[in-house]
């Protein structure tokens, strides 16, 4: 069999979740909430189903939902986005990423990514014959040297993929970072895939620097978001892509072929639910409390924490406890202590060992307190 993805195995999230289940460990590995979705939102889905919203949605997504998204950008960022021509509803961020890459990448094109990188970027680029050029950033600050980025651009470079706030770096890029990116993108006429699924999980009153806020950058960018992260329903697989009119038209040519349209009743429900912009503000505060609970709970443990500025993850360095490789240490934590975390090394092409594990704090307080108690004794 002539595999198109010969190196691809089961991803690290599925692997660690399966191990957590096998050993009945607390799963702080894969990023998903263990608390319920708001029953009001569930009622809105069933109500849409009872009102016969059960057939194909329009190919670009329900107009009302796209209007809601445009309203969010108006009220949050004072930016106008055309809901008809610049927003497409997707089957989660994963499909939005896949479709963006499929839209842009021809065999031989180069794509710059920053590591540690979310797992689906590289294989998707390779599936379409692209070549990934990775820039490895180091814990704990994961600072970008923009000169290094500029030096990586060749005449084959077509796309730069960014993820801000970053999973698993938990960093939030500054306005200066985005301005530096914009300069490179404009100078070399590149495209940007800006994965912003953690846009509203951002702490300590930091401001999210969306790619749409920078006029010239926006003209080259596909901005991707996920309702799974926003509404605590990762299993619903709904998200969207924002791109300028001409780029959206190209994106939709591909979108039409691989999904055509996405789940109708859930689009109705989300559109009805997101009529209050306060929701977005409350979400950050809700999740920041969880982050702070873990930080305070582990303050006197032997783990060294990198406080997360964004996402619902934080990083734990265990160098004071062990010099084992990350996977060995993570496996012992699952098997002997009953807590599942994710090693950082698999997020790098050349597994960079930094004695660091990722912890997901999108969990009920009781789950976090149980995990804190265990981790304090390690
Ligand atoms: N990008 C990043 C950075 C993620 O962490 C995730 C996983 N939540 C996704 C994309 C995929 O999002 P979705 O579940 O909506 O496909
Ligand atoms: N985004 C989730 C994480 O980072 C996992 C998604 C998945 O399992 N593919 O943990």
Q: Tell me, which fold does domain 12-35+279-376 have in CATH?
A: 3.90.1150
- Determine the distance separating the centroid of ligand 1 and the alpha carbon of 93, expressed in angstroms: 5
State if residue 324 touches ligand 1 by the CB under 6 angstroms criterion: no
ipTM of predicted complex: 0.98
- Determine the distance separating the centroid of ligand 1 and the alpha carbon of 118, expressed in angstroms: 8
pLDDT at 279: 87
Say which ligand is closest to the CA of 31: 2
Whose C-alpha lies nearest to ligand 2, atom 1?
Answer: 31
Per-residue pLDDT of 133-173, as tens digits, reads: 999 999 999 999 999 999 999 999 999 999 999 999 999 99
Per-residue pLDDT of 42-69, as tens digits, reads: 999 999 999 999 999 999 999 999 999 9
- Give the residue from 350, 367, 354 showing the smallest Cα distance to 136: 350
How many other C-beta atoms lie within 10 A of the C-beta of residue 220?
23
CA–CA gap between residue 350 and residue 167 (Å, rounded):
18
- Determine the distance separating the centroid of ligand 1 and the alpha carbon of 96, expressed in angstroms: 10
Looking from the CA of residue 311, the nearest atom of ligand 1 is 5
Looking from the CA of residue 118, the nearest atom of ligand 1 is 3
Average pLDDT, stretch 73-87? 96
pLDDT at 291: 97
- Determine the distance separating the centroid of ligand 1 and the alpha carbon of 81, expressed in angstroms: 23
pLDDT at 278: 81
Query: Does the pTM exceed 0.80?
Result: yes
Question: Do the beta carbons of residue 375 and residue 27 sit within 8 Å?
Answer: no
pLDDT at residue 353 is higher than 80 = yes
State the Cα angle at 287 between 270 and 310, rounded to 5°: 95
pLDDT at 307: 76
Q: Give the mean pLDDT of the chain.
A: 96
- Record the tokens describing residue 91, joined without a space: 């089957």
Q: What is the C-alpha radius of gyration for the chain, rounded to an integer number of angstroms?
A: 20
Per-residue pLDDT of 294-305, as tens digits, reads: 999 999 999 999
- Record the tokens describing residue 234, joined without a space: 């990762």
State if residue 162 touches ligand 1 by the CB under 6 angstroms criterion: no
Looking from the CA of residue 228, the nearest atom of ligand 1 is 15
Whose C-alpha lies nearest to ligand 2, atom 8?
Answer: 13
pLDDT at 299: 96
- Boundaries of CATH 3.90.1150.10 in the chain? 12-35+279-376
Per-residue pLDDT of 267-280, as tens digits, reads: 999 999 998 878 88
Confidence band (pLDDT; 50, 70, 90) for 1?
A: confident
- Record the tokens describing residue 343, joined without a space: 């090693």
- Testing ligand 1's pocket by substitution, the residue of 14, 16, 92 carrying the most ligand atoms inside 8 A of its CB is 92
CA–CA gap between residue 174 and residue 172 (Å, rounded):
7
Looking from the CA of residue 239, the nearest atom of ligand 1 is 15
- Give the residue from 338, 342, 339 showing the smallest Cα distance to 315: 342
CA–CA gap between residue 266 and residue 279 (Å, rounded):
18
Residues in the chain: 378
- Give the residue from 213, 239, 264, 306 showing the smallest Cα distance to 50: 264
Confidence band (pLDDT; 50, 70, 90) for 108?
A: very high
pLDDT at 277: 76
State if residue 234 touches ligand 1 by the CB under 6 angstroms criterion: yes
- Boundaries of CATH 3.40.640.10 in the chain? 39-275
* CATH 3.40.640.10 holds for 39-275: yes
pLDDT at 306: 87
């Amino acid at each position: 069999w002539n595999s198109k993805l010969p190196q691809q195995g089961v991803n690290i999230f599925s692997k660690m979740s399966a191990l957590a289940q096998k050993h009945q460990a607390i799963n702080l590995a894969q990023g998903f909430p263990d608390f319920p979705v708001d029953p009001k939102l569930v009622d809105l889905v069933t109500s849409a189903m009872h009102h016969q919203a059960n057939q194909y949605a329009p190919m670009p997504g329900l107009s009302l939902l796209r209007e809601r998204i445009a309203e969010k950008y108006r009220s949050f960022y004072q930016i106008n986005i055309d809901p008809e021509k610049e927003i497409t509803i997707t089957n989660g961020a994963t499909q939005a990423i896949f479709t963006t890459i499929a839209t842009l990448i021809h065999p031989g094109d180069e794509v710059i990514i920053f590591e540690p990188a979310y797992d689906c970027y590289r294989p998707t680029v390779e599936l379409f014959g692209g070549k990934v050029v990775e820039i490895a950033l180091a814990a704990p600050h994961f600072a970008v040297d923009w000169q290094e980025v500029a030096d990586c651009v060749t005449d084959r470079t077509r796309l730069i993929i960014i993820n801000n706030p970053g999973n698993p770096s938990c960093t939030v890029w500054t306005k200066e970072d985005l301005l530096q990116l914009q300069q490179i993108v404009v100078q070399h006429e590149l495209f940007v895939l800006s994965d912003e699924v953690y846009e509203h999980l951002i702490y300590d009153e930091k401001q999210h620097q969306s790619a749409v806020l920078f006029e010239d950058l926006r003209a080259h960018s596909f901005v991707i978001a996920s309702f799974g992260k926003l509404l605590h329903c990762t299993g619903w697989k709904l998200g969207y892509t924002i791109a300028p009119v001409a780029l959206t038209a190209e994106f939709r040519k591909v979108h039409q072929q691989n999904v055509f349209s996405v789940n109708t009743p859930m689009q109705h429900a989300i559109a009805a639910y997101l009529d209050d912009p306060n929701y977005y503000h409350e979400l950050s505060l809700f999740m920041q409390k969880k982050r702070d609970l873990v930080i305070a709970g582990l303050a006197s443990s032997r783990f060294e924490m990198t406080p997360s500025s964004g996402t619902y993850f934080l990083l734990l360095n265990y160098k004071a406890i062990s010099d084992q490789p990350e996977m060995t240490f993570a496996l012992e934590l699952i098997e002997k202590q009953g807590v599942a975390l994710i090693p950082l090394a698999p997020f790098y092409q050349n597994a960079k060992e930094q004695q660091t594990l990722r912890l997901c704090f999108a969990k009920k307080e009781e789950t976090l307190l149980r995990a804190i108690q265990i981790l304090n004794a390690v």
